[in-house]
Amino acid sequence: MKNLLNQNFEGKRVLVRVDFNIPLDEDFNITDDSRIKAALPTLNKLIQDKAKIILMSHLGRPTGFESKFSLSHIVNYLQSILEVNVSFSENCIGEKVMSSIKDLKNGEVLLLENLRFYKEEMSGDLNFSRQLANLADVYVNDAFGSAHRAHASTSIIAQFFPKEKYFGLLLKNEIDNLEKSLCDPETPFTAIIGGAKITSKIDVITSLLDKVDNLIVGGGMAYTFAKAMGGNIGDSLVEIDKLDLAKSIIVEAKNKGVNLLLPTDSVNSNNFSNYSNIQYSEIINIPDGYIGLDIGEESICLFSEVIERSKTIIWNGPMGVFEMSNFENGTKKIGEAICKATKNGAFSLIGGGDSVAAIRKFNLQNQISYISTGGGAMLEYLEGKELPGVKAILE
């Protein structure tokens, strides 16, 4: 494996797959630029080398061309942050983009339009991948957030650069940090998994049961566990078809000697809104007509105590509906407990769009060891799956 940093790419056409799948508001202003900032080490290295940089990314999940998903919305911002000339190509393949690349001067950047405007991107079409590959001399994958996708630009394309394919610096850093927490972690090792549904987290939970000392489960899925234990959860979110699964996770944790911590109390609301009647109860005694929207004070104490004693911590998924001020407390307090542990020497890693948004909302982002740009990619890595984007570079 050749290291990007040991090469000089002066005058070379370098095609960089980034993950600029970022949130935009209705006026197309970027509301969170962290994925762009995370790509800067790679981009600045290539700019300093005076390479001809061709950037490609997807944005959202368009079906064909949809102007609201155009990457043209981010050109001005890119130009200001990179401090070099950034031009834009409405096409990803073909004569026009070839001629734009011919016009590129050393150290300049060309941003291609959203790859997903071509259906061939997500289907991993070989011919489309070859046409993308024809644009450049070198391929760099720095799109960790998309490394779990076997798409044309993230994986299939790499075979056309047998000697000139590289991990970007972000992708490498993400893998190094995940490895650090998974291979030989300092113990106690605690994973905190939240979010709405067991379905989307079951694989990671199962895989973590072989690795962690403590597994904390919060967020919407905790109510399915409470129901599985025979509780009354009022009108809370529940996956009725996952009750047996929840029970089996409880048994499996016990058999594997993992300390599984579930919330014991809940903050409830008579509707899914910040402006509502709020009451508190045990999680197994939520009144009918009420929805559990956050973990309660007792759960916060229970969880925080375990987190603060931990030496390795990974977190994916909020504890409650932190977007609403009345139901943000659980997520905030768990974030603060992680920061406290980190200050005392623990290694902490947070990933997933919601958890990262929460940590930024509470301004705790500088007190965490590592914040991942990946959601699904991080989960699949933790599940022990080989990421297609990583594999394609190593092959």
Which chain residues interact with ligand 3PG by CB under 6 A? 19, 21, 61, 145-146, 149, 375-376
Assess whether 230 carries a catalytic annotation.
no
149 binds, among ligand 3PG, Mg ion, none (CB under 5 to 8 A by kind): ligand 3PG
Phi then psi for residue 363, to 5 deg, are 55, 40
Q: ∠ CA 125-134-392 to the nearest 5 degrees?
A: 55
Residue 105 burial (CB count, 10 A):
10
Assess whether 17 carries a catalytic annotation.
no
Residues 234, 119: Cα–Cα separation, whole Å: 44
Q: How far is the CB of 94 from ligand 3PG (least distance, A)?
A: 24
19 binds, among Mg ion, ligand 3PG, none (CB under 5 to 8 A by kind): ligand 3PG
Q: How far is the CB of 372 from Mg ion (least distance, A)?
A: 13
Toward ligand 3PG, which CB reaches closer, 193 or 300?
A: 193
Assess whether 376 carries a catalytic annotation.
yes
Residues 74, 25: Cα–Cα separation, whole Å: 12
Toward ligand 3PG, which CB reaches closer, 145 or 388?
A: 145
Toward ligand 3PG, which CB reaches closer, 61 or 105?
A: 61
The residue annotated as part of the active site, out of 50, 130, 197, 385, is 197
Toward Mg ion, which CB reaches closer, 193 or 341?
A: 193
Pairing of strands 265-269, 278-282: antiparallel
Q: How far is the CB of 45 from ligand 3PG (least distance, A)?
A: 22
Toward ligand 3PG, which CB reaches closer, 2 or 61?
A: 61
CA 261 to chain centre: 24
In this structure, what token pair is assigned to residue 258? 């993992």
Assess whether 35 carries a catalytic annotation.
yes
Q: How far is the CB of 61 from ligand 3PG (least distance, A)?
A: 5
The residue annotated as part of the active site, out of 13, 311, 361, 376, is 376
The residue annotated as part of the active site, out of 13, 340, 353, 361, is 353
CB 283 within 8 A of CB 266: yes
DSSP structure string for 314-383: EEES-SS-TTSGGG-HHHHHHHHHHHHHHHTT-EEEE-SHHHHHHHHHTT-GGGSSEE-S-SHHHHHHHT
List active site positions.
35, 197, 353, 376
